[in-house]
Structure 1
Amino acid sequence: MKLAVVGGGSTYTPELIDGFARLRDILPIGELVLIDPAADRLELVGGLARRIFAKQGHPGRITTTADLDAGVADADAVLLQLRVGGQAARNEDETWPLECGCVGQETTGAGGLAKALRTVPVVLDIAERVRRTSPDAWIIDFTNPVGIVTRALLQAGHKAVGLCNVAIGFQRRFAKLLDVAPSEVYLEHVGLNHLTWERGVRLGGPGGTDMLPKLLAEHGDALAADLRLPPVLLERLGVVPSYYLRYFYAHDEVVRELGTKPSRAAEVAEMEKQLLAMYGDPALDEKPELLSRRGGAFYSEAAVDLAASLLRGGGSPVQVVNTYNNGTLPFLADDAVIEVQARVGTSGAEPLAVPALDPLYAGLVADVTAYEDLALDAALRGGRDRVFKALLAHPLIGQFEYAEALTDKLIAHNREHLAWV
C-alpha cells in the first residue's frame, strides 16, 4: 500500500508518522511518500520519520520528494495538509481583521475566507494531478478550512473525505473523565467543520447510555475552562460546543484579547523553529513533547482510522468526517458539506441520521453554510464583488462598512495568491 502526504515537510508530520508506526496492523503501509517544495524542511522531517519507523520496527519505506506528480503516482491515498503562504500568511489572517474590530482567525471570519481563497485553487490543481496519475486514490483532506476545501473537491468529482481532530479530541477527553476506553465513547457530534456541538456522549454506541448530563454536572467547570467559555453557558445549552464556537459566543471578548498579545501564528512560527532544530538531531527517534503544543492532537489516530476504512474496510465502521449532507440536515442543500458521524467504507462516507437540530444551532449552521456557498464561489471564480458578498454574509461580520473595508484589506494582503487580481 502506498500513501502520499502533500505538505509532508510540515512540523505536524511526525505526529502522523508516529500514528502510522504504532497502528501498522490497522494500516499496513509499504511506501510512504512525503511531498513538499521546501527541501530544507523536508529533509529534516523525512530523516526523523525514518528514525521513528526504524525505532518502532515498521518495515515500510519512507521517501521524500518535491515532485508532486512523481510522489502521488500509483498512490492508494493522498493526505493533504498544506498551508498556502505558510505561517506568514496565517499571521496576516489573524491580524488585519482586528483593524475593523472583527476576529482574526485562520479558519473563520475574514481570515478564514482569505485562507479559502488561497487554498481552494491549489488543492483542486493537486487533486487533478492525483486523478491523472492515480484515478482510484482517495483524497483525505486535513487542510483548513476543511469544510470548504472538501466541498470543492467533492463538487469537482474527486474521491474525497474531510477530516478534523476536534471530535477525536472530545472523545479522548470524555473517555478519560469517564475512565473508559475511547472506543466505548460514541459522540452525537453535529454541525459544520469548526462549528460543531456534542449533543450526547453515549457509552457503547448510538443506543448506549447518554453520559453528557453526568459530564456536565461533574466536570462542567473544567470543560468550560478548556473552551474558555462561562460554565453557565454549557449548563444552559446542555451541550458541549467546540472551541471554535467561542468566536461566535464571545466574539467581542476574543477581539479584545487578540489585540493585546502576539498572534497564534507568531507563536507557532517560533515553535516550528524549535521543532525543526530538534528534528535535525540524528539521535531523536520519536516525536518530541513540544509537538503536542503545536496543535493537531490525535490527528494521526483519526487519519489512520479513516484511511484504513476507505482502503481496506478495516477501520472503525462509524467515524466523524466531513462529507456531503445528502439530506441529513434537511434545512441544508444535499451538496452542503457537514461534519457528523458517518458510516465509512471502501465506497466512501455516508452520514448517519441526525435528530432534528434545535433552532439555536440550526440557524447558525444555515448562516455559516450560506457564507461557505459564497466563499467557495469566490474561491473558484474570483472577483471583488464575490469576496464582498461572502464577507457580508458571514455572521461574524454582517455589516456593510466592515465587509467593504475587509474586502479591500483581504485583497491587499493576498495579491500574490489571487490569480484574478
Structure 2
Amino acid sequence: MRLAVLGGGGFRVPLVYGALLRDRAKPRVQEVVLYDVSAQRLETIGHVLRQLAAGHDDPPVVRTTTDLDTALREADFVFSAIRVGGLAGRTADERVALELGLLGQETTGPGGIAYGLRTIPVALHVAERVAALAPRAWVINFTNPAGMITEAMRRVLGDRVIGICDSPIGLIRRAAAALGLDPARVSPDYVGLNHLGWLRGLVHQGRDVLPGLLADDAALVKVEEARIFGPEWVRTLGALPNEYLYYYYFTREAVAAISGPTRGESLLGQQDAFYAAVRARPDEALAEWLSARRQRDATYMAEARDATDAGERDAADLEAGGYEGIALALMAAIARGEPATMILNVRNGSAVPGLPEDAVVEIPCAVGGAGVRPFATRPLPGRFLGLLQQVKAVEQTAIEAALTGSSDLAVAAFALHPLVDSVTTARKLLDGYRARIPELATVFPS
C-alpha cells in the first residue's frame, strides 16, 4: 500500500513512520510519500526516518516531494497534518487573542477559529486533488481544528475522509489504568466534538465502572484530567471531561497562566533549534529529534497543569503513544478488514441527538473493511448539549465564511463563540488576525 503524508516535513512525522516500522501484518504500507511546501524540512525529516529505519527488515520506502499531485497519485491512504501559516501563524493565533484579554490557544476559542478560517480553503483544494487523482483513497485528517476541517473536506470526499485525535483515547486509557483495568477491555461512552467531549461511562464486563472511579479519591487522583479539573468538579459533572474543556470551565485561570511565552512561541523556538541542529549535524538527526520530542511532550498543556498543581505528565502515559497509533489502527482496520472500535470524527447522522445531521462529531465507531459506522449515543443533558450546539454553530459559520470569503460571517464565527464576550471584540479579532497572518488576509482581504 502507498501512504501519502501531507505536512511530511512536520516534526511529528517520525511518530507515524515509527508505527509503520512496527507493523508487520499484511497488507502493510510499503511506500510512504512525504509532501511539504518546504524542501528543507523534508530533507531534515528524511534524515530522521532513515536513522529510524536502520536495522529494520524491509522498512517502507520513503520518497519526498514538494508537488501535491505527485504525492497523491496512486495513494491508498492520505494522512493530512498540514499547518497553514506554520508555527508563526500559531503564535499569532494565540497572541492576538491574549492581547484582547481572551484565551490564546491553538484549537479552542478565537485561535482555533482563525486557524480554521485560513486552513479550510487549502483543505478543500487538497480534497479536490484527492478526488481527482486518488478517488479510492481514504483520507485520515489530523489537520487542526480537526472536526472543522474534516467537516469541510466532507463536502468533496464524503465518508472517505475521517478525522482523528488522540485526546479521547488518552483519557480512556488513563481512566482504565486508574482502576487497574486493561484499556482494550473497556467500552467507553464518550461523546462530543473534537477537543470538546466527555467520558460519561466506562463499561467493563457489562458494568459501568466510571461512577466507582469518580467516587474513589485515591483512584481519581491518578487520572490527569481529574487532577486538572479537580475531583469536586468532575463529580459535579458526573463525567470526565476532555482536557481541552479546561479552557471553557476555567477560562480566567487559563488566560492568567499564560504569562510567559505561549505554547506556539515555545514550540517555534524548539523546532527552529531542532531543524537547525539537524542541518548542522545530519548524522545525529534521530538523537536530536528524540531530545526535542521529550521536551515537547513534557510541556503539553503545561499551563493547565501549572495552574492546578496537577504535576508532570505520567511517563507511562507518554510512552503509550498517541495519534500515530490511531492512524495505523484505522488504516489496518479498513485495509485488512479487521473489525475495531475507535473514537473518530465522523458525520453525525442521528448518532448524537440535538446536533445537525451533517455535523462532524467525535464518538465511538465500528471500523472495518466497509468503512466506518458511528454508534448511537445516549441523549446529552443540557449542560453538555448546549455547549456542543453553540460551538458547532461556530464551526459551521466559520466554514461558510472561509468558503465565501465573507468577513461578516468571519466576525459572526468569532462573536458566537462562548469564549468571546462581544461583537466589537470579534471585529478586533478579525482585524488583528488579518494584520498578522498573510494566509488569513488572503481569504478575507477586506
TM-score for both structures, normalised by structure 1: 0.93
| Paired position in structure 1 for 2:164 | 163
Q: How does 1:29-108 map to 2 (within 5 A)?
A: 29-108=29-108
What's the CA shift string for 1:199-222, capped at 9, x where partnerless? 112236xxx332222333133234
Q: Does the CA-based 8 Å contact 1:186-1:201 persist in structure 2?
A: yes
> Per-residue CA shift, 1:133-173, capped at 9, x if unaligned?
11111110000001110001112234200001112212332
Match of 1:378 among 396, 401, 414: 401
Show the counterpart of 1:334.
357
What is the alpha-carbon distance in structure 1 between the residues aligned to residue 270 and residue 226 of structure 2? Answer: 21
Could you say which residue in structure 2 is the equivalent of 1:192? 193
Alignment of 1:115-194 (within 5 A): 115-158=115-158, 159-194=160-195
After TM superposition, the structure 1 stretch with the greater mean CA deviation from structure 2, 16-25 or 90-99, is 16-25
Rounded Cα–Cα distance in structure 2 between residues aligned with 1:378 and 1:227? 38
Change over 3 Å in CA distance of 1:95–1:283 after alignment to 2: closer
1:97-150, Cα deviation, whole Å (9 max, x unpaired): 112221111112111111001111111111211221111111100000011100
Q: Please give the alpha-carbon distance, in whole angstroms, between the structure 1 residues aligned to 2:90 and 2:199.
A: 28
The one-letter code matched in structure 1 to 2:150 is T
Q: For the Cα contact (< 8 Å) 1:110–1:410, is it kept in 2?
A: no
Count of equivalent residues: 416
Match for residue 212 of structure 1?
210
- Aligned residue type for 2:212: K
SS of the aligned residue for 1:157 comes to helix
Residue deviations 1:207-264, cap 9 Å, x none? Answer: x332222333133234356662232111211211011101110111111222x11110
CA distance in 1, matches of 2:25, 2:285: 24
Alignment-derived partner of residue 270 in structure 2: 271
| Unmatched runs of 5 consecutive residues or more in structure 1 | none
Contact 1:187 1:200 in 2 (8 A): yes
- 1:356 paired residue among 379, 395, 399: 379
Indicate which of 376, 399, 416 corresponds to 2:422. 399
Partner of 2:336 in structure 1? Answer: 312
Change in CA separation of 1:283 and 1:406 when aligned onto 2, cut-off 3 Å: closer
Look up the equivalent residue of 2:268 and give its one-letter code: A
Moved more, 195-204 or 271-280: 271-280
Quick one: distance in 2 between partners of 1:76 and 1:270? 35
Q: Which residue of 2 aligns with 1:303?
A: 327
Q: Distance in 1 between matches of 2:384 and 2:393?
A: 14
Q: Aligned pair in 2 of structure 1 residues 381, 320: CA closer, same or farther (>3 Å)?
A: same
CA distance in 2 between counterparts of 1:340 and 1:399 reads 32
**What is the CA distance between 1:398 and its match in structure 2?**
4.3
Query: How many angstroms apart in 2 are the aligned matches of 1:281 and 1:213?
Result: 52
- Once the 2 structures are TM-superposed, how far is the Cα of residue 345 of structure 1 from its aligned partner? 2.4
2:429 paired with 1:410: no
Distance 2:418 2:58 in 1: 47
Please give the alpha-carbon distance, in whole angstroms, between the structure 1 residues aligned to 2:183 and 2:271: 30
- 1:203 and 2:204 aligned: yes
Pairwise CA RMSD: 2.1
Q: How far apart, in 2, do the equivalents of 1:32 and 1:125 lie?
A: 21
Deviations 1:373-421 (A, max 9, x none): 1111111111221111111111111422322322322222234442341
Residue identity over aligned pairs, in percent, reads 36
Aligned to 1:288: 290
Superimposed CA distance per residue, residues 176-208 of structure 1 (whole angstroms, 9 cap, x where no aligned partner): 33334331232211100010111112236xxx3
* Alpha-carbon shift at residue 61 of structure 1 (Å): 1.0
Q: What letter matches 1:414 in structure 2?
A: I
Structure 2 residue runs of 5 or longer lacking an equivalent are 301-320
In the aligned structure 2, how far is the partner of 1:372 from the partner of 1:400?
A: 17
- Contact 2:140 2:163 survives alignment (8 Å): yes
Q: Name whichever of 244-253 and 47-56 sits farther off.
A: 47-56
